[in-house]
Amino acid sequence: MIKLYSLVAAIFLFFLGCTKKYDMKYNVGQEWKYKTRPGEENSTLKILKVEEYPTVGKVIHISVSRLKMKNPQHPTGIADKISHLPITEEALYKSIISIKNDTRQMPDSIEMDGYSYWKKEFDKGNAGVFSIPVSEIVNTMEKSIVSGDYTK
């Protein structure tokens, strides 16, 4: 009988180890510390919405604040926020360090405007989901904005 319990325990531990390590519970309103770019250590991300799609899996919609992203179109030349980014669960998991705030307050309507636009374009097949870490997304966006490539 003890061998049976040992076998069951071993099987349970095996399957526990086979689950996705990044499968966490993300809730709307949570604020997370993440692996930032150098000089942006105070930057955080906030969960705006969590959805599941058959084609891409779980999509976490986030905003990122306290950035120092070069943007010639901004009055100060520096943008401090990205109001909406759709990201895969795995990429988010690889980005986060720890939860900062779990108040679960609803996002601002401005942040959700970005989601509404993305959703309309995603449904048409014209928009996708980021699968790279948040810091790389910020780098890519900054390079695109500075070079003017985003307008083409």
Burial annotation 18-50 (CB, 10 A radius, 16+ → b, else e): eeeeeeeebeeebbbbbebbeebeebbbbbbbb
How high is the pLDDT of residue 19? 45
The domain ranges of the chain are 24-151
Global confidence as pTM: 0.79
Task: Specify the range with the lowest mean pLDDT, choosing from 35-44, 60-69, 100-109.
Answer: 100-109
Please write the tens of the pLDDT for every residue from 15-52: 444 445 555 688 899 999 999 999 999 999 999 999 99
Task: Specify the range with the lowest mean pLDDT, choosing from 9-18, 40-49, 63-72, 90-99.
Answer: 9-18
Q: Is the pLDDT of residue 10 over 50?
A: no
